[in-house]
Structure 1
């Protein structure tokens, strides 16, 4: 039962759920991009290149006229499908690039808007020898003079 409880805690963490949502949305986005490439981008390009359907572009690895089809299918290098897949990848990669670029721009803007808090001083001047001493020191390490109490160590 302990392992079930640990698994439930692990699965319900925010990061795991965010990752799951990202994977699901990424899969759906991949389908959209594949449809964009196959159904919208490639048909006009094929039309401009003389009515070529890129999915049908392939090179037979054997002589098709003498191949015995009872032994199996003709082996092909389907470079047209590879072109489609490569275009899918380039579009997804470009979209991710734009997304990361936008996020980085927003981070930089946020950092500019939020002024950084100044660090509290860690040293003070000794009024007798003008040396730097730690803020909480009660005696100067250089001249051994007794120092006034400061609000930091009061």
Structure 2
């Protein structure tokens, strides 16, 4: 069982996946900062100058007026944090857009590589067709019979 586990870990796909997860986590931190530090303040400015991600409604419980989202959560009240949800949607859209651009770039590179391969194959001198080879064999056999 340990041998199988070592073989599994040693596969290239597992290492590639691990690298992808690590890079994805770092990329997520960058996107979260982009949304929290740049986009939300701009949206907040447009909606009245408050931090957009801090918008919430109290569904049940007592929260001091003007309390931050974290302070409201710390009171134990039931909070409808719609600003955080909107931030999560913005994060998702930014990440999805970045992944789309990455896949598009990879497809473009793969497509150009495939076109280059096809051009090289087309430029290679074509050998005789199967029919031509069979006719040559037939002619050789006839020549040796005489």
| Shift, 1:137, TM fit | 8.9
| Shift, 1:116, TM fit | 5.5
**Stretches of structure 1 lacking an aligned partner (at least 5 in a row):** 66-71, 126-134, 139-145
Alpha-carbon distance between aligned partners in 2 of 1:5 and 1:63, rounded to the nearest angstrom: 56
Q: Aligned pair 1:85/2:92, yes or no?
A: no
Question: Is residue 59–residue 80 contact of structure 2 (8 Å, CA) maintained in 1?
Answer: yes
Match of 1:30 among 28, 48, 65: 28
CA shift in 2, pair 1:41/1:4, >3 Å: same
Q: Normalising to structure 2: TM-score of the pair?
A: 0.73
1:13 is matched with which residue?
11
User: How well do the aligned residues superpose, as a CA RMSD in angstroms?
Assistant: 2.7
Question: Is residue 61–residue 76 contact of structure 2 (8 Å, CA) maintained in 1?
Answer: no
1:25-69: per-residue Cα shift (whole Å, max 9, x none)? 10111011001100111112211221122222112223748xxxx
2:38 is matched with which residue?
40
Match of 1:94 among 86, 94, 97: 97
| Shift, 1:8, TM fit | 0.8
How many residues matched? 126
Bigger radius of gyration: 1
Higher relative contact order by CA 8 Å / sep ≥ 6: 1 or 2?
Answer: 2
Question: Is residue 40–residue 53 contact of structure 2 (8 Å, CA) maintained in 1?
Answer: no
Q: Normalising to structure 1: TM-score of the pair?
A: 0.70
**Which is richer in helix?**
2
Query: What SS does the aligned partner of 1:52 have?
Result: coil
1:82-108: per-residue Cα shift (whole Å, max 9, x none)? 011110000000000000001111111
1:74-153 residue pairs with structure 2 within 5 A? Answer: 74-114=77-117, 115=119, 117=121, 123-124=130-131, 147-149=138-140
